[in-house]
């Protein structure tokens, strides 16, 4: 398995761990220990403690970006791109995603923390576009 595939698997794993550690803990604790009805968690509005709401949004951010990374990794894998830059960029994507989520969940979102979180997101975007350019260059035969 290639490094980009491992990083994609890591991204998916992080998405699930984040769900379990934030949304899951909050809901299961309420259901099992506070007699909160299982149907009381509404999907059409955010309720609950601030850290829970941040966890829900951080998980949603992962879910929104996971298919983008998956599509890029699929194209790279299909083209058989074996370039060290692809491996490094894929590793940076996962590290930046984990850091973005941790900043989102672990701190009240002041302007400073939002700026840090946004910086980690921008790092991912730059890596995504760089990976797309590399894939396109290989796909067009510009690089072999």
Which alpha helices (H) appear in 80-140, and where do they start and end?
84-106, 111-139
- Dump pLDDT digits (tens) for 4-39: 999 999 999 999 999 999 888 877 877 888 777 776
Domain parsing of the chain, residue ranges: 3-139
What is the phi-psi region of residue 128: left when phi exceeds 0, alpha when psi lies from -120 to 50, beta otherwise?
alpha
Asked if CATH classification 3.40.50.2300 holds for the domain at 3-139, the reply, yes or no, is no
Which pTM does this prediction carry? 0.90
> Quick check: 127 and 92 in contact, CB under 8 A?
yes
- Dump pLDDT digits (tens) for 59-79: 999 999 999 999 999 999 999
């Amino acid at each position: 398995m290639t490094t980009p595939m491992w990083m994609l698997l890591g991204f998916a794993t992080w998405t699930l761990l984040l769900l379990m550690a934030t949304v899951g803990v909050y809901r299961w604790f309420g259901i099992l220990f506070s007699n909160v009805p299982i149907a009381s968690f509404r999907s059409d509005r955010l309720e609950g403690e601030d850290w829970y709401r941040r966890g829900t949004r951080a998980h949603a951010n992962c879910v929104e970006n996971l298919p983008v990374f998956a599509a890029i990794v699929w194209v790279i894998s299909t083209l058989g791109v074996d370039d060290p830059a692809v491996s490094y960029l894929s590793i940076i994507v996962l590290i930046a995603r984990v850091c973005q989520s941790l900043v989102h969940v672990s701190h009240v979102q002041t302007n400073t923390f939002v700026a840090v979180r946004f910086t980690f997101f921008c790092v991912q975007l730059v890596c995504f576009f760089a990976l797309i350019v590399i894939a396109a260059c290989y796909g067009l035969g510009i690089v072999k």
